[in-house]
């Protein structure tokens, strides 16, 4: 009986995202037929581009890696009821700190890697903590401050790699750090494929977070704060502490996303390499799509990454332009949120009613 109810609940929670996916694909179909291509054939080429053979699957996983980590970080914040919009800045600061740590920390490969991971996590986490601190201490709205801090972080990282730490070895003065020593590279999972150790880190982290959020008291406190801050406080949860912790880990994991990109695929921090593909926004979408469930976030990230790699394959093989992926993605998110936030809203509204004229 209980199991049946759980299954029903699961199906119910899947209906809305699936409807959104369907609307997204339908919009894509309209756009494809507008340019005069065959819809089914184009979608098949897209599928092949994302999952067609082993190489493409690994390429999809490689693209999904930073997206999963960003999504996981945001999922923590969302679960605690904070709208962290600063994943981009946290990721970029994490990436540039990791690159510098890997370059300048002396020692063997493993020490360099650990130092880089720690530096990336700390940089992202502290940057995010700054916004959390401003919210709890001075009531500066987190939603807005994180958005603003993104620009500061991205510009600062841009300054670092175009002035003091610029790679001077090449003939063209690109805004990037020198290349990291090969001993500090994260190993590739399969020779010749782009997917690297970072993907494993991301998946393991998703499982750990799932367990923490569901089965531990710390996870319970985070969830309670998100569901109903007033009840949480009434129940003796230190609201400020939980919020600050959530923000620290949220930003830290976003920093890790940048770190594994640096250590696993770029081997240096290149300006724009993390912001131009829009990893942060895609990760945000994945977390929303999965309603901040860590495992669901991982799956949604892989799907969104597949949409992007698939679209690249489609552009190689057909006349249909790549941007159809962002059209589908945009429509999908536009409709998936309708319900997610309806739930969220209800919860929030209840909280506000109790609070009166908040």
Rg (CA), the chain: 21
Could you give the string, one character per residue 14-53, with x where binding to another protein holds by CB under 8 A and - elsewhere?
A: -----------------x--xx------------------
Q: Is 95 in the site for another protein (CB under 8 A)?
A: no
CA distance 141 to 238: 19
Residues in 112-171 that interact with another protein by CB under 8 A: 134-135, 138-145, 147-149, 151-152, 155-156, 158-159, 162-163
Count of residues near another protein by CB under 8 A: 62
User: Taking the alpha carbons of 44, 45, 46, 49 in that order, is the dihedral positive or negative?
Assistant: positive
Least Cβ distance, residue 101 to another protein (angstroms): 21
Q: Name beta bridge partners: 196.
A: 188
Q: What would you measure as the largest C-alpha separation in the chain, in angstroms?
A: 70
Least Cβ distance, residue 278 to another protein (angstroms): 8
- The residue among 49 and 264 lying less far from another protein, judged by its C-beta, is 49
Could you give the string, one character per residue 230-269, with x where binding to another protein holds by CB under 8 A and - elsewhere?
A: -------------x--------------------------
Query: Residues 219, 231, 326, 350: which binds another protein (CB under 8 A)?
Result: 326
- The residue among 33 and 216 lying less far from another protein, judged by its C-beta, is 33
Q: Is 325 in the site for another protein (CB under 8 A)?
A: yes
CA distance 297 to 316: 29
CA distance 109 to 107: 7
Residues in 61-90 that interact with another protein by CB under 8 A: 80-83, 85
CA distance 156 to 145: 16
Q: Kindly report the number of other CB atoms within 10 A of residue 8's CB atom.
A: 10
Q: Name beta bridge partners: 188.
A: 196
Looking at residue 356, the DSSP 8-state letter turns out to be: -
With contacts defined by CB under 8 A, name the span among 45-53, 118-126, 293-301, 341-349 that binds another protein.
341-349
Which residues, other chains included, contact 258 with Cβ-Cβ below 8 Å and sequence gap of 6+? 66, 90, 91, 92, 93, 94, 95, 96, 98, 120, 124, 274
Binding residues for another protein, rule: CB under 8 A, are 31, 34-35, 80-83, 85, 134-135, 138-145, 147-149, 151-152, 155-156, 158-159, 162-163, 229, 243, 278, 281, 284-285, 288, 321, 323-335, 337-338, 340-342, 344-345, 348-349, 352, 357-358
């Amino acid at each position: 009986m209980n199991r049946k109810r759980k299954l029903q609940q699961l199906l119910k929670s899947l209906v809305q995202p699936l409807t959104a996916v369907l609307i997204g694909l339908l919009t894509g179909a309209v756009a494809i037929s507008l340019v005069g291509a065959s819809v089914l054939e184009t979608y098949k080429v897209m599928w092949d581009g994302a999952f067609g053979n082993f190489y493409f699957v690994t390429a999809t996983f490689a693209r999904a890696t930073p997206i999963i980590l960003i999504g996981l970080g945001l999922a923590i914040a969302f679960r605690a009821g904070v709208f962290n919009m600063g994943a981009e800045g946290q990721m970029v600061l994490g990436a540039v700190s990791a690159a510098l740590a890997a370059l300048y920390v002396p020692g063997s490969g493993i020490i360099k890697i650990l130092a880089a991971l720690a530096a990336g996590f700390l940089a992202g986490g502290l940057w995010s903590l700054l916004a959390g601190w401003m919210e709890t201490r001075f009531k500066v709205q987190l939603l807005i401050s994180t958005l603003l801090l993104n620009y500061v972080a991205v510009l600062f990282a841009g300054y670092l790699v175009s002035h003091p730490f610029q790679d001077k070895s090449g003939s063209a003065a690109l805004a990037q750090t020198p290349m990291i020593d090969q001993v500090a590279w994260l190993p590739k999972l399969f020779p010749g494929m782009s997917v690297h150790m970072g993907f494993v880190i991301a998946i393991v982290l998703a499982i750990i977070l799932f367990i923490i959020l569901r089965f531990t008291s710390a996870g319970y406190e985070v969830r309670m704060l998100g569901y109903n801050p007033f009840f949480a406080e009434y129940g003796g949860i230190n609201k400020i502490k939980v919020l600050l912790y959530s923000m620290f880990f949220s930003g830290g994991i976003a920093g890790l996303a940048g770190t594994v990109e640096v250590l696993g695929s770029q081997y240096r921090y290149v300006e724009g390499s993390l912001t131009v593909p829009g990893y942060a926004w895609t990760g945000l979408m994945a977390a929303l799509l999965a309603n901040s469930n860590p495992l669901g976030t991982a799956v949604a990230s892989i799907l969104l990454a597949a949409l992007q790699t698939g679209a690249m394959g489609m552009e190689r093989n057909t006349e249909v332009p790549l941007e159809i992926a962002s059209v589908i993605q945009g429509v999908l998110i536009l409709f998936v949120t309708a319900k997610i936030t309806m739930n969220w809203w209800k919860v929030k509204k209840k909280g506000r009613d109790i609070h009166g004229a908040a």
